[in-house]
Chains A and B, each alone.
Chain A
C-alpha cells in the first residue's frame, strides 16, 4: 500500500513537472468548459460550445486542450465538475456556463482558487458590482444590459405603461431592474412567473385586463416559445418588446410565425455587417449546417479573446495574461468591444426583428438601441 502510494505520488509529480516544462515552451492552455448540453436549455450550451470550438479549430493551434462537460443545468453538478477540473484536470481557464444560478455557484470559488473564468453568457449583477473579481471576465453582457436596451427602445416607440413579466430567479430580477432602469414610463403591472413555467394563460388574462400599452417579457428558451405561441393565439394585440432570448436562432424555428415582427434587443445579430461577423456566420453555417445564434457568437468571441491573450502572455504569468485579456485585442463578431473597469463589456445594443428570408426565420437589425453602453454596477467594483 505504502509503496503504491509513493509510486502514485511519484508518477503524479513527474506528470506535473512534464506539464510545467511543456508550459514553459509554448503559450498552450488547458480550458475547462462547463455548459448545459442535455435536458431543457441544451440548445444554448450546444451553440456556445460549437462557436467556441470553431474558433479554436480556426486558430490551428494544437497546444490548446478543451475539456467539455455537461452541467445538466444543475448547480450541484456544475460545482462538482468545476472542482474536478480545477483539482484533477488542472485546467488554467474555466468557461461555458449558461445560467446565472449556476454561474453564482461556480465562479466565486473558481476565481478565488486563482483560475481565470470567462463567461460566454451568464452575467449576474452580483458578479459585476461588489462581487467582481480580477480573474472574472464577462464576454457576453451584464444580465441587465439587454433589458436596458429593451427599455430604451420602448421609450423610442413612445410606450408609457408596460406590463412587465419575468421568471422569479436572479436573471429574471436583473431583467426587470434593467428594463425599469432605462424605461421612462410607468410599469402598468409587474408579474414574476415560475421558472420553467410553460402555461401563460393566467398571465395573458392579466395582460388583457391590465390596460397596458405594451408588454415587456423576459422568458428564455422553452418558456418563451410557449408564451409567444399562446399570446399570438389569445387575440390580445398589445405590442410586445423583449430581449433576444425569446427570439434567438435556437428557438425561433419552434416559435414560428408568432415571432415575426416583434422588436427584440441584442448585442449581436447574424446580419451585423463587419468582417469578423460575416466570416463567422459563413464558417459556422459551413461547419454545422445551421445559422449561428447569439450564444454561438458569444462562444466564438470568448475563444478568440482567450487566443488573443495567449498570443501575448502565457496563463502561468497571471498578471500579464490578465492584462492581455483586459485589452480585448481581438476581432469581435459584434464590432467594437472593450472591457469596463469591472471586466464587463462596453458595447452597442441593437434592435432586431425576426423576418422570413429564403424560407428560414432569421433576425435582422432594424436599429440601434444603445451605443457604447456600460453596466450600472461598475462603480461598485473594486479590484
Chain B
C-alpha cells in the first residue's frame, strides 16, 4: 500500500509538471497580453503531430522534440501576427470566439494534412521500460524523464523571467503595458515573443505527452480545460502560481482517482460514490481556492 501510494505520488507529480508546461504559456499570454487563448490546446496538438512526423521521417526522438518546439512556436507566431494581434483591444468574448474558431481550423487542417487516423509516436528505446527505485518500486523511466524535463523547464523559465532583460520586460509588460511602451520597448514584438514562448512550451508538452499517450486530432482540448483550472488556482498571470497550481492539480487528480474509490468501497461497499467525487475533485479544489483567495494562490489582487 505504501509503495502504491508513492508510485501514485510520482504519477501525480508527472501529470503536474506536464500540466505546468501547458499552463505556463497560457498564464503568460493572459497575464502579459490580457488574451484568453482557447487555441492553446491546438498548439499542443501541433507540437505532437510535428514530433510524430519528424520521428517517423528521421527516427530521431531528439529531432522530434526540437521539431515540436519549432513547429508550435512558428504556428504561434503566425496566428499572433495574423489574427490575435487584432484582438488585444477587444473584450474577452471576441477573443474566445476567434480562438475557438482557430481550434476548429487547426483540427480540420491537421486532419487534411495527416488524415483521420492517430499517428505513431513511441518512447525511444534508451528511455523505455521500467527502472527500480530505492524501496523496490518499479517505475517507468520515461515518466521520470518527464518529471525531470518539466522541472528543468520550470527552472529555465524562472531564470529567464527573473534574470534576463527580456524577462524583466515581460514582467513589466504584465504590470503596466502603457508605461512599458512609453519607455521605448517595442511592445508588439514583446507580445509576439511571449506568445511564441508559450506556444513552444505547449508544443513540447504535446510531444512529450503524445509519446506516452496518443497523437490524434482533438488531443489538446481536454488538457486545455485542466490547464485553465491550473491557472485559476495558481493565479492568472503568475508563472510560479502555474507551477504550484499544476502540481497541486496533478496530485489531487491522481490521488483522488486512486484513494476515493477505495474509501467509498470501504464505507459504502461500492466504488461509485468515490469515482463520482474523484472526477469533480479538481473543480472542488478550484472553487475552494476561489472562495479563500479569489485572485488565486500566487495571483496579485485585482
Residues of chain A at the chain B interface (Cβ within 8 Å): 37-40, 42-43, 46, 168, 190-192, 194, 196, 198-199, 201-202, 205-206, 208-209, 221-222, 225-226, 229-230, 233-235, 250-251, 253-256, 258
Contact between A199 and B279 (Cβ–Cβ < 8 Å)?
Answer: no
CB pair A229–B15 under 8 Å, yes or no, is: no
Q: Is the CB of B120 within 8 A of A222?
A: no
Q: Which of B4, B122, B219 contacts A205 (CB 8 A)?
A: B4
A200 closest partner in B (C-beta): B213
Beyond A39-B218, A205-B8, 14 additional contacts (C-beta under 8 Å) are: A40-B219, A43-B116, A43-B118, A199-B212, A201-B15, A201-B143, A202-B8, A202-B254, A221-B118, A222-B216, A230-B213, A235-B140, A251-B214, A254-B214
Q: B212, A230: Cβ atoms under 8 Å?
A: yes
Identify which of residues 101-142 in chain B touch chain A, using a CB-to-CB cut-off of 8 Å. Answer: 107-108, 111, 116-123, 128-130, 138, 140, 142
Known: A202-B257, A225-B213. A256 touches B122 (CB 8 A): yes
Find out whether the CB atom of B214 lies under 8 angstroms from the CB atom of A222: yes
- Could you show 13 A-B contacts with beta carbons less than 8 Å apart? A38-B111, A194-B279, A196-B222, A199-B15, A199-B213, A201-B143, A205-B11, A206-B258, A226-B214, A234-B138, A253-B117, A253-B119, A254-B119
Q: Which chain A residue has the least Cβ–Cβ distance from B137?
A: A205
Q: Decide if the interface of chain A is mainly helix, strand, loop or mixed.
A: helix
| Assembled-state Cα–Cα distance A256/B122 (Å) | 8
The one of A46, A190, A191 in contact with B116, judged by C-beta atoms closer than 8 angstroms, is A46
Does A233 contact B116, Cβ atoms closer than 8 Å?
Answer: no
Report the separation of the CA atoms of residues A221 and B123 in the bound assembly, to the nearest whole angstrom: 19
A39 touches B217 (CB 8 A): yes
> Beyond A43-B117, A46-B116, A253-B120, is A202–B212 a contact (Cβ under 8 Å)?
no
Select from chain B the residue with minimum beta-carbon distance to A50. B116
Q: How far is the CB of B131 from chain A (nearest CB, A)?
A: 9
Do B11 and A201 touch (CB < 8 A)? yes
Given A40-B219, A43-B117, A205-B11, A225–B107 Cβ distance below 8 Å? no
Chain B, Cβ-Cβ closest to A290: B117
A39: B residues at CB distance < 8 A: 107, 217-218
CB-CB under 8 A for A38 and B120, given A201-B14, A206-B258: no
- Kindly state whether residue B215 has any CB partner on chain A within 8 Å: yes
Q: Roughly how many angstroms separate A190 CA and B270 CA in the complex, as a whole number? A: 10
A235 touches B4 (CB 8 A): no
CA distance A233 to B122 in the complex (A): 10
Contact A40 B111 (CB under 8 A): no
Fill in one digit per residue for B6-28: 1 if any A CB lies within 8 Å of its CB, else 0. 01100100110000000000000
Q: Which residues of chain A are near B257, meaning CB under 8 Å?
A: 194, 202
Using A39-B218, A192-B271, A205-B8 as known contacts, say yes or no to A251 and B213 having CB atoms under 8 A apart. no
* A202 close to B258 (CB less than 8 A): yes
